[in-house]
Amino acid sequence: MTAFNADWSLMTPEIVLAILALTVFTIDFTTGIRGKKPFIGILSVFSLLITIILVVIFNQTPGSIGATFVVDPYAMLFKIVILIGVALVIINSMSYMEKHEEMYQGELYSLLLFASLGAMLMVSSADLITLFIGLEILSISSYCLAGFRKNQAKSSEAALKYVVLGGTASAFILYGMSFMYGLTGTTNLGEIGSGIQQLYGQYPYLVIMSLLFMIAGFGFKISIVPFHMWAPDVYEGAPTPITGFLATVSKVAGFAIMLRILAVGFGGIYHEWYFVIAVIAALTMIIGNTVALVQKNVKRLMAYSGIAQAGYLLVPLAASLSFNITMSMIVYYAFAYIFMTLGAFAIITHVTENAESEDISSFAGLRKRSPFLAHSMTVFLLSMTGLPITAGFVGKVYIFLGVMSSEMVWLAVVLIVTSTISFFYYFGIIRQMYMMDPKENNSMLKAPTSISLIVTISLIGTFGLALFANMLTNYMNGLMWIIL
């Protein structure tokens, strides 16, 4: 296939998003460097909504551009998750920007759009080279976003740590890819997957080494144990809306491509690596939840919560379930995770900015100051814990029942125990909101329109996914997920 006869319509969403991102960037620098520019934020959100519509229209029919870029249900659903997540982050950033006029608004929105583009390229990649290009577009944008508050030492420190460790992780990924290319002579995941069993029989140690290097590199990107140590510092130092982006969109995108590599490239030797993933998932759930118990900074607490959530996402991959059921579990929980986490981060952004403190005590008396925010935060926290009538509960039950049907009952026990532990540190925030009196200088807290919008959308998503869980899972179980 040449560039002249390739079906470029499959890349229509990515091409349009790239054009719109450049348009936002151009409008920004032609309208002055600083100042309030809410119209750019609104334009960015509309850009993402247009892209979502294009994904639904052009990604319905499976297809591919050569052996490099593939469109299938897996890519389509993850793209929708990513675009919804970034749209919510931008809406949250708009209210944040009003209090921080020293920040360059247009640049922030442009970087988020380019990060979305990189993530979309990643999840549609069927080739290691294309995958790495998308990964680096996402990573470089994320490094810049983490250090966006240049006048704050913590933000600069976060960006520096993220760049150094992120670069190291990228080197691990490249090193693992180079081993695989050297063994197979190809970078196409489908071709690697078709010959992986024979290759493993001839060069078992080199294949395992390649796999472990890639797991380590992608493990950093999604902050799973033992590659998680960067997350609390970076999350604490980054602007709060960007912390939400790193905890959700960036994590989900990294997880999506790691899953495609394991399922397609190394699926033929599943019996050689599934237990490694199971151990990593268990350690991630245990360490993420137990370390969160002692956190007083709400962003560090959410960092460890996000680490634990990554463990829950890994559980279906480690259980010997049918491919369709595994994919359905992961995609459903990814949707739930986006809504409940970004809803919580919208409230965290508003409360901590108003209190000028990121301590959990900044939530003291929130029920009296803003009942809507307090009740909504409670819903999101209970969903992350996995309590009934929420998407988080349905997602965890779905994963739990799947794992119980496999031979890994011990992993299901770890999931239940660690979910119970998580209630204690989430309850610390709930306790502040309902059982503590507001501080003397705290008056009624009115949520701006953008925050109210995010919280409302997130509540609808959190309850809606639970209400229509059977319909959604039946639809996803019937999909032909990955087509190469």
Task: Give pLDDT, residue 442.
Answer: 64
pLDDT of residue 228 exceeding 60: yes
pLDDT of residue 101 exceeding 80: no
From 316, 329, 322, select the one nearest 476 (Cα to Cα). Answer: 329
Task: Give pLDDT, residue 140.
Answer: 92
Task: Give pLDDT, residue 479.
Answer: 76
Query: pLDDT-derived band of residue 274, with 50, 70 and 90 as boundaries?
Result: confident
From 455, 228, 480, select the one nearest 351 (Cα to Cα). Answer: 455
Q: How confident is the model over 105-158, as pLDDT tens digits?
A: 678 889 999 999 999 999 999 899 999 999 999 999 999 988 888 778 888 888
C-alpha pair distances (Å), 242 with each of 89, 147, 186: 7, 10, 37
Task: Give pLDDT, residue 468.
Answer: 92
Rounded Cα distance between 292 and 132, Å, is 32
Query: pLDDT-derived band of residue 65, with 50, 70 and 90 as boundaries?
Result: confident
pLDDT of residue 303 exceeding 70: yes
Q: Which residue has the tokens 């969403």?
A: 13
Angle between helices 251-260 and 105-123 (to 10 degrees): 20
pLDDT of residue 1 exceeding 60: no
Rounded Cα distance between 257 and 75, Å, is 9
Q: Kindly give, in sequence order, each residue whose CB lies less than 8 Å from that of residue 129, ignoring residues fewer than 6 positions away.
A: 68, 187
pLDDT of residue 3 exceeding 60: no
pLDDT, average across residues 243-272: 89
Q: So where are the chain's domains?
A: 8-477
Rounded Cα distance between 301 and 150, Å, is 24
pLDDT of residue 298 exceeding 90: yes
Query: pLDDT-derived band of residue 35, with 50, 70 and 90 as boundaries?
Result: low
Position with higher pLDDT, 121 vs 443: 121
Position with higher pLDDT, 456 vs 442: 456
Rounded Cα distance between 220 and 225, Å, is 8
Query: pLDDT-derived band of residue 441, with 50, 70 and 90 as boundaries?
Result: low
What percent helix, strand, coil does the chain show, rounded to 5?
A: 80, 0, 20
This prediction's pTM: 0.93
Long-range (24+ apart) CB contacts under 8 A made by 462-465 are 462/336, 462/339, 462/340, 462/343, 462/379, 462/380, 462/383, 462/390, 462/391, 462/392, 463/379, 463/389, 463/390, 463/391, 464/391, 465/332, 465/335, 465/336, 465/339, 465/391, 465/394, 465/395
Position with higher pLDDT, 404 vs 86: 86
pLDDT, average across residues 233-241: 90
pLDDT, average across residues 171-192: 91
pLDDT, average across residues 368-395: 92
Query: CA dihedral defined by 248, 250, 252, 253, rounded to 10 degrees?
Result: 160
Long-range (24+ apart) CB contacts under 8 A made by 46-49 are 47/17, 47/20, 47/21, 47/23, 47/113, 48/17, 48/83, 48/86, 48/87, 48/90, 48/113, 48/116, 49/87
pLDDT of residue 102 exceeding 80: no
pLDDT of residue 60 exceeding 60: yes
Q: Is 124 helix (H, G, I), strand (E, B) or coil?
A: coil
Rounded Cα distance between 214 and 94, Å, is 36
Q: Considering the chain, what is the average pLDDT of its residues?
A: 88
Q: Is 4 helix (H, G, I), strand (E, B) or coil?
A: coil
Contact 249, 257 (CB under 8 A): no
pLDDT of residue 324 exceeding 80: no
Residue 226: cis peptide before it, omega within 30 degrees of 0: yes
Q: Kindly give, in sequence order, each residue whose CB lies less than 8 Å from that of residue 434, ignoring residues fewer than 6 positions away.
A: 367, 374
pLDDT of residue 85 exceeding 90: yes
Q: Which residue has the tokens 């992120």?
A: 166
Give me the phi and psi of 407, to 5 degrees please.
-90, 5
